[in-house]
Amino acid sequence: MRLMVTSAALLAACSATGTGPVRFDGTFYANEAESTLLPDQRLPKDFVAVIKDDGELLQTTQTFTTASGHKVRYVWNGLCDGQFRPVEGVDPPGTVILSCQRTHDGALINTLADNHGYSHVETCSMTADRRKQVCKGTATLPDGTKHEFVYAFDRKM
């Protein structure tokens, strides 16, 4: 089973307004019905992503329980400046890195890679009503195959 270690959950997307990107804090829950998952990927029932965005610095915390009962907590802190930074909580440390860049229209382009040959690039945006975050991208699996995906997250209102 492929765990959902995704920059979509690790980063919140911003939407554009007349005054620039929306800063937001939020709690997000995976919406499996509106997502297109990668092969062998499952969403943990207790998956929660908490995002803090001050307009410059993002902090994301993703928590869930694995199928074997192991509690997981991933944290990423950084600027969306295109520089890779480690995802904390991954064992061994430093084996998953993430970068993001804000686009002129308020979306985020996120790149994630691990030391086992997995990587993905996705573009994330918020719906106009800010109730949903949608990330679309392409993943390269360790066997070299490429797969399109869509991750949808509902924002707790």
Residue 1 belongs to some domain of the structure: no
Q: Count of domains in the chain? A: 1
Residue 104 belongs to some domain of the structure: yes
Q: Which domain holds residue 95?
A: 7-155
Can you give the CATH number for the domain in which 69 is found?
2.40.128
Give the integer Cα–Cα distance in Å for 100 and 68. Answer: 31
- Alpha-carbon distance values, 73 to 64, 125, 126 (Å): 7, 24, 24
Q: What are phi and psi of 32, to 5 degrees?
A: -65, -35
Give the integer Cα–Cα distance in Å for 93 and 25. Answer: 26
What pTM, to 2 d.p., does this model score? 0.83
Among candidates 154, 156, 157, 152, which has minimal Cα distance to 4?
Answer: 152
What pLDDT does 85 receive? 97
Among candidates 81, 90, 93, 32, which has minimal Cα distance to 62?
Answer: 90
Residue 65 belongs to some domain of the structure: yes
3-state secondary structure of 9: helix
Residue 101 belongs to some domain of the structure: yes
**Residue range 38-80, pLDDT digits in tens:** 999 988 989 999 999 887 888 999 999 998 999 999 999 999 8
Identify the band that residue 7 occupies on the pLDDT scale cut at 50, 70 and 90: low
> Can you read off the two tokens belonging to residue 132?
């949903």
Residue 15 belongs to some domain of the structure: yes
**Residue range 103-156, pLDDT digits in tens:** 888 888 999 999 999 999 999 988 888 899 999 999 999 999 999 999 999 999
